[in-house]
Structure 1
Amino acid sequence: MVSYQLCLRKVPDELILILEMLSCKKSENLNKNNQDFFKNVNWNEFVEMSIHHRLFPSLFLKIKEEKWGFIPQQTMALLSQYVKINTMNMLSLSGEMGKLGTLFNQHNIPALFLKGPILGAELYGSLSLRTSSDIDVLVSIKDLNKVEQMMKVKGYIKDDYFSSVLNDWKWRHHHVTFNHPETKMKVEIHWRLNPGPAKQPAFKELWERRRVSTFSQSPIFYLSKEDLFFFLVTHGARHGWSRIRWVMDIHQLVQQDLDWNKVMKVLRSYGYLDIGGQALILTNRLFKTPISSDMEPLFQRKRANQLAHKAIFYLEEMINLHTEPVPIHVSKYHQRHLFDLMSAKQKCLFALSLLHPYPVDSETMPLPKNLHFLYVPLRPFLWTWRKSKAIYNNWGT
């Protein structure tokens, strides 16, 4: 079997130490057993790295189990504090998830819970061992209006963060956010697993393969193991694996009994074989995840190895793609990486999607709603006009 090595030379020592701790088995010793190395560790950076990558719950438990004596007491106290806060947060999210599950069932709305507390229980055996800031629920797009009304009745306020022309929101976006002003809960209602234009499994397929959890008194439905792998690898890749917790999720999941024929069938159907391979290479290299013979067809893909190498960029500094402003060099790299992730067919779909009107076109030339169809032939001209105007303004400065 091919063994891919990734260049981690520019990855901070503190992060390398965290990864070695988490991947260290009981029968092994840490490779970093040189006392001089530990003297040079910046323990504040160590804690910050563990928080940024959302690894601190598992890291704290691992340190307690192994009883490593070289960790400063102040560092352990800080980690302990964050773990307690996270546990309370996950318990709150768990309670709200149970209420929402009951609500969806009462309204006869099929709903699949994607992440959050249910993944903590499913992948780590305890909801407190995974972090989450919100609840993600996937519903059929035909039920979206009904869900919106249901959420409003429960006191949630919709965050209208995007506008749309000719209903492009249905495929350009994949979720809408609801915030509760009193409880501070955030719920993302998805109608797609990922934003378009790439194709992906229909809700009906995912629902037919669903699992049921006894997480709460009311049934909670979530993705099959194979569909969960598809979702986690596409989600992690789309975010550049910039939080290693997403890689650790894969590490935990692949050690369960997955049907790899089904996994590869769904990945192949939607053009994500290389992304599946990228995830396996990353988890094998970062967490020493064993690769079985069933995983080898994904693991040994040459393009998957190339994509895994490109993902290391996101580990060389603490990159947060959700906090504005994103540094220009990070933004440009991420745009290129997203394009590199696409299969040839997905790149063609993406190119065609650029011809579809964007909200900015309606701002450039406002038209009555009944004439919005004209934005399709007008788009090349409006795009050229905006670019020319931008160049002219730059000359003026």
Structure 2
Amino acid sequence: MNNNYSLDLSILPKELKLLLEILDIENYYKSEIFINESVKDIDWEVFLQLAIHHRVYPIIYSKLKIIEEKLIPTHVIQTLNQEYKKNTFQMLQLSAEMEKVSELFIKNQIPTLFLKGPVLAAELYGDISLRTSKDLDILIPINDLEKADKLLLSLGYEKGKFHNILNEWKWRNQHMEYFHPQKNIQLEIHWRLNPRPTKEPSFHTLWKRKRVSTVTSFPVYFLGEEDLFLYLVSHGARHGWFRLRWLLDIDKMIKKGIDFDKIIFVLKKYQSFHIAGQAIILSSELLKTPINEKMRLLTVSNRSRTLAQAGVNFIKEMLPLQIITSSNTYKRYQFSLYSSYMQRIYSFILWLYPSYFDAETLKIPKSFHFLYFPLRPFLLAWRKIRKLT
């Protein structure tokens, strides 16, 4: 579907365009229309790198089954098959751990919402093997963090590095990381969906609209439809949509059928029209997602289109998140996502709030940590000068 959003897709490499075309295949007849021309002069190593980088290799492998085998090199199919099998095992392992943690938390009176992982794969793809996930993202009330910490440590999890200068974790972070060395499983315990200053529903509101997944025998809860859409578009926007997997989630959710009246209400309340428009434009243009008139209303603003083009630029780079987020281009993009002057003011105040980097730059006794507030601009400047030299 061409909605004439005027995105510059010419910057995308041909291998990425082929990846997008394969993601759009629904049946063998449709594959015959374009696949013969699209596979000419393809660098198959780049194609594999893109499939793995964008975390879409399970569904690419499933789509290639309906394409004439001789068109795709054997080693490409074999590599994707190996990655698909590894992911299936990973998702089965995560499903078992998800059930175990959910039961432990619920029995200890910690309301628990799983954000992505196997529950999202089952809900949107109908098969946990068709979506990748490196960890389990778990949202709980902030007041239950200490209790959850003790429970996870009792299960053999180890807590990741946690920096806490002047309670900065409450202002800069939205989750803590845990790792189980024997099981090789990573968890993220969230107390917010997104970092501040993003506006979002309270945990109580999210819990009232929760749904129960059928992935496990013990109840596993996840976000209601409108909250899941809000979370997916805000998470994707925050990361610049640099992985197609997140955009594919939007495509699957829209195709599955959603109550857009409820979603628009939530988007309006949390000032997210512009990022929802960005997601819909990208999904429509890159994945040919069919959109109706109500969805189209979110795509008419120049702001959404500008953000969508920025997303295309990040998607084509195939760079790690750490490199993307450290660039000035990303920092300007991140600032453009804020929907109000108050959020921009808050982000500036947050920039002035001391961090553990300041403590690493200049160590002072804990009783004098308040001095990091007036010292922070100078410490920031000093680190920048050292980096340049």
The two structures have a TM-score, normalised by structure 2, of 0.92
State the distance in 1 between where 2:328 and 2:216 align. 44
Is 1:350 matched up with 2:347? yes
Q: 1:71 to 1:200 in 2, by over 3 A?
A: same
**Structure 2: distance between partners of 1:339 and 1:71:** 42
Query: What is the aligned counterpart of 2:30 among 28, 31, 34?
Result: 28
Is 2:381 aligned against 1:387?
Answer: yes
Q: 1:355 to 1:385 in 2, by over 3 A?
A: closer
Alpha-carbon distance in 1 for matches of 2:118, 2:297: 32
Measure how far apart 1:196 and its partner are.
1.2
Residues 176 and 189 in structure 1, CA contact (< 8 A), matched pair in contact too: yes
Q: Which residue of 2 is the match for residue 62 of structure 1?
A: 63
Q: Are residues 1:9 and 2:10 paired?
A: yes
Deviation larger for 143-152 or 93-102: 93-102
The answer on 1:335 being equivalent to 2:337 is no
> What is the CA-CA distance between 1:66 and the residue it aligns to?
4.1
Q: Counterparts in 2 of 1:69-218, with a 5 A limit?
A: 69-160=70-161, 162-218=162-218
Q: Which runs of 4+ in 1 moved over 6 A?
A: none
Supply the distance in 2 between the matched residues of 1:2 and 1:47 (Cα, whole angstroms): 30
**Residue type of the alignment partner of 2:181:** P
Whichever residue aligns with residue 343 of structure 1, its letter is: S
Give the Cα–Cα distance (whole angstroms) in 2 for the partners of residues 220 and 195 of structure 1.
Answer: 24
* Cα offset, 1:5, TM superposition: 3.2
Partners of 1:201 and 1:369 in 2: how far apart? 35
TM-superposed deviation, 1:260 = 1.8
Q: Quote how far apart the aligned CAs of 1:374 are.
A: 4.7
Contact 2:213/2:222 (8 A) holds in 1: yes
SS at 2:221's partner residue? strand
What 5-or-longer segments of structure 2 have no aligned partner?
none
CA contact (8 A) 1:21 1:30 kept: no
TM-superposed CA distance for 1:206, in Å, is: 0.7
How many residue pairs were aligned? 386
Q: Which residue of 1 aligns with 2:235?
A: 235
C-alpha separation in 1, matches of 2:33 and 2:380: 56
Structure 1 148/305 Cα, relative in aligned 2: closer, same or farther at 3 Å?
same
Give the 3-state SS of the residue equivalent to 1:294 in structure 2: helix
Structure 1 residues 23 and 394, CA, compared in 2 at 3 Å: closer, same or farther?
A: closer
Residues 132-174 of structure 1, C-alpha deviations (whole Å, 9 max, x = no match): 11111000100000000000000000002x4223212112101
Larger mean CA deviation between 344-353 and 130-139 belongs to: 344-353
Quote the Cα distance in structure 1 between the aligned partners of 2:387 and 2:254.
51
- For 2:80 and 2:363, the matched residues in 1 are separated by 53
How many percent identity over aligned positions?
Answer: 41
Provide closer, same or farther for how the CA distance between residues 215 and 90 of structure 1 changes in structure 2, counting only shifts above 3 A.
same
Counterpart secondary structure, 2:189: strand
In structure 1, list runs of 5 or more residues that go unmatched. none
1:197-254 CA distance string (max 9 Å, x none): 3332111111111101122111000001111111111111111111101100000011
Shift of 1:370: 4.5
- Report the CA distance shift for 1:43/1:386 in structure 2 as closer, same or farther (over 3 A): closer
Q: TM-score, normalised by structure 1?
A: 0.90
Q: CA deviation at 1:388?
A: 5.7
Please tell me the root mean square deviation across aligned C-alpha atoms, in Å. 2.3
Partner of residue 305, structure 1: 305
Contact 1:279–1:308 (CA<8 Å) still a contact in 2? yes
Contact 2:172–2:195 (CA<8 Å) still a contact in 1? yes
Partner-residue secondary structure (3-state), 2:321: coil
Preserved CA contact (<8 Å) 2:233 2:276: yes
Question: What amino acid maps onto 2:333 in structure 1?
Answer: H
Summarize the Cα distance change of 1:363–1:21 in structure 2 as closer, same or farther, 3 Å threshold.
Answer: closer
